[in-house]
Chains A and B, each alone.
Chain A
């Protein structure tokens, strides 16, 4: 049995929705960040699936760029989360509320 493109697209759409739901419902900054990475990875899966389906390598190339950018974002993001933990001793988004959210 061959796995057609639809399965990949459904899986990645599901991953994307899980990521979005996680960002909107979870309150721990690190878990929110993990959900964002899940969204980026679902996009990567879509890109790779399309790339193999269309027989063009552009999608796979794009995945490398997305991975690089995600790594840069992780570096900056985790640094920000550490800085906020030093300030307030918490990473719960509900407690980070000096400014009106």
Chain B
């Protein structure tokens, strides 16, 4: 059953590859109209980049950094020789995915696909930067197709790891987590994207050419749709941020950015937001003290007896890189967990029986958030060490700690990493990118790396040093809740400012009273600049939150409304 699936998947990839190359050879003659700027070589690089973004080779910076459209756009732009345009397109696409959260192995939409393929098609097809989002947004919806295939096929590789464990083959278990899945994923991800980028560019170029000549207003519609789709991205985030009095900070952010005159450097605004957030916490905390994260004193178990610091560090490194290498429906991160334990097992256990038992113990279902959840691994390592020293710790005890803690830690980890660190860092990076500043993607990379690497290792080692107490200490100290509150205020503030930067809606409605013509937009600007973007964001938020309309429906609705609204139905002028 599983072998069949693997074989089927490989055959599909190969057929796609062959069919694609044959097709491109037979259509090699350059298209007469609409010059495309996409060579086969560049298309292949784009496909490989998409694979790399989902690969484990970048110490967990693949999914958290390379996979984001801001970075994707910049890289594709670099490859295609137009970095500034690529970066701007990436930033524009990324607004839609600000509130994007993938929790527990479910992947709604695909920012990476929208980023890599969307930018490649927009640049290759000669689409205006500002209109690229309307093209990329539907592409992102397609990503779910390969995801389901990946999640079921990789389940088979987990069974290959089981077989290695049966032979007490430590190295084999580690390799099974990485090698088969990465060969498979390379073809699954790179081939279709490379093909789509190559063939799609010509198609997009021709389509745009035709539309430009025959239906000029549709181009305007795509442009409008892109500006409006940004409102969906912001509103998706607001769903998580509008709590209690916090929406007030959204409006403060909006007004400050409006006063500053639109396209401003968000780094400065974010610093203002941070000060406001700290004041908010001071004024609302009622003077309670924040407990230390890790109280000194009390009894502490002695660590680093059989293990050395470098073993624990090596274990963390393996996790950092390969936690999701063989992510699948059946075990989720199970094989990744087992791989991260290999240095520990090698050091602690010498007999074949012990090794086999330990490998099998850690190959079971496991899933947590990779950074904050690392505390669970730390605790597990400590338990394994105590067990090897002769303490009476059953398989069951280790298992129940793992399964008991992985859920709660994932809940907190997702809230912090995907809900706070990534969106706020992105917002800053994107606004810099929009001004053509290459520090945008770089600052994003630095902020996320600091969190993923710094906090990741720190929490991992604390788990090892303190055992189960690490969890209660982290949770009990008020520091965590304060950090979340600060982030809530800052997030609202930043999104208010982003509304000004990224959401673009204006109306061309005019009317004549008593001989003089009034332009509605001018009247609105006189009242409150950026009023329509603000209203649109709030409207989308209301539809999502109160009417429970799905983001996909809203996405399609916005594109249709924007394009239709651009049709010059009202005589000489259109709505948008």
A and B part of one assembly: no
Chain B interface (Cβ within 8 Å of chain A)?
none
Interface residues of A (CB under 8 A from B): none
